[in-house]
Amino acid sequence: MSLKIKALTKSIWVFHMAASPCNNCDIEILDLLTPRFDIERFGIQLVGSIRHADAVLVTGSINRKVRKRLKRVLAQAAQPCFVIALGNCSCSMEMFGTSYNDNKPLDEITDVHAYIAGCPPKPEAMIQGVVALIQAQLAALKK
């Protein structure tokens, strides 16, 4: 497993999963790919299927209907696959915690490896979050 994780730190393919978000984090993720930030420089790429992904970015306060879908999609991920909670909603549900549609933060549904807070997080913050995750994993490997 450790070798696999080390390999993962080089060029991360991410899958983006919107789970009842407000669209803002999602658009900022796409923003990362466009010329201003261009994370493809680092080999980070958005992929179309979670089966290809090394990391999943989950946005939104996950409601009852999307939760089943989310679990099903996450179960299809090839391990190791890192789960990143992006934005205040998936970290802590922001203002949707009391909604009748049974919203839950992401860490009540699955294990989360990194939290990136913000509403929405700035693109720089997203890059920093991913970098922090990589460094933490590398540090853990060295021990």
Partner 1 sequence: MADEVLEGIKAKFGGAIVEVFEKSPRRTYITVDPASLPEVAEYVYKDLGARFSIATGMHMVEGFEVLYHFALDNADRFLNLRVILDLDKPSVESIATRVPATEWIEREMHELLGIEFRNHPDMRHLLLDDDWPEGNYPLRRDWKDWRGGENGNEK
Partner 2 sequence: MATKSKTQIIPIGPYHPLQEEPEFFKLHVEGEKVVKLEIELGYNHRGIEKLAEGLTYDQIPFLVERICGICSSSHPFASVNAMEDIADVDVPLRAKYIRTFIGELERIHSHLLWLGLAGHFLGYNTVWMWAWKQREPVLDLFELITGNRNHYAMFKPGGVRRDVADEDIPTAMRLLESLEKPVMMFTKIALQDPVLQARLKNVGVLTKEDCVELGALGPTSRASGVPWDVRHDHPYAAYGMVDWDVIVTQNGDVFDKAVVRLLETFESVKICVQCLEKLREVKDGIDAELKEIPPGEGVGHHEAPRGEVFHYARSDGTNRPIRYKVRAPSFMNVPTNHRAVVGYTVSDATITLAAIDPCYCCTERMLVVDANSGKQVMGWKDLLRLSQEKTHRLMEKYNSRMDRIWT
Residues at the interface with partner 1 (CB under 8 A): 64-65, 100-102, 108-109
- Binding partner of residue 52 among partner 2, partner 1, none, CB cut-off 5 to 8 Å per kind: none
CB of 10 to partner 2, least distance (A): 23
Closest C-alpha to 84, from 61, 104, 58: 58
* CA–CA distance, 75 with 90 (Å, rounded to integer): 18
Please give the biggest Cα pair distance in the chain.
46
Q: Residue 10 or 64: which CB sits closer to partner 1?
A: 64
- Residue that is written with structure tokens 């299927």 in the block: 49
* CA–CA distance, 35 with 12 (Å, rounded to integer): 19
Q: Residue 23 or 101: which CB sits closer to partner 1?
A: 101
Provide the 3-class DSSP secondary structure of residue 45: strand
- Binding partner of residue 81 among partner 1, partner 2, none, CB cut-off 5 to 8 Å per kind: none
Residue type, 105: P
Q: Residue 108 or 124: which CB sits closer to partner 1?
A: 108
One residue of 119, 131, 132, 140 binding partner 2 per CB under 8 A: 119
Q: How far does CA 36 lie from the centroid of its chain?
A: 21
One residue of 1, 48, 75, 111 binding partner 2 per CB under 8 A: 48
